[in-house]
Amino acid sequence: MSDAGAFFSFGNEQRGMTEHSDTGGDGLLETAGFDAEELAEGLEAAFEGRESEFRVVARQARDLADAGIVAADRGDPLTVEEIVRNLEDAPEESSVADRWNWWLGALETAYGGYREFEVRAVSTEE
């Protein structure tokens, strides 16, 4: 993970599942209803930024959606539309990664268990 200029840190490499991830025994893990590429395209259409930033945010969002935490906490699974809508509420001058972390900060305050999905670094190379 040490290629110069191509470092991504998702913050969850060393972590196990969150306290929200217990499916209660025999329950099936429901995965996100979107893929990372679909979200990256939605982010690119809604915000200015670099492709590498859209990709890293989209991967983090997909991991969060797959974990089922938002669905458990808020009652509905994540969608591309909901993510974009929430990121639009962040301060206007924010990058996409900053917007993502801003929203996760709100979820962390309300429910806990979201820090591991923050974007910690974005590649400076395309």
What are the sequence ranges of the domains in the chain?
36-117
Residue 122's closest CA among 96, 91, 88? 96
Does the pTM of the predicted model rise above 0.85? no
Q: What is the pLDDT of residues 98-114, one digit of tens each?
A: 999 999 999 999 999 99
- Does residue 115 register a pLDDT over 50? yes
Q: What is the pLDDT of residues 66-81, one digit of tens each?
A: 999 999 999 989 999 9
Contact 104, 115 (CB under 8 A): yes
Please give the Cα distance from 90 to 105 (Å, whole number). Answer: 11
Please give the Cα distance from 87 to 97 (Å, whole number). Answer: 9
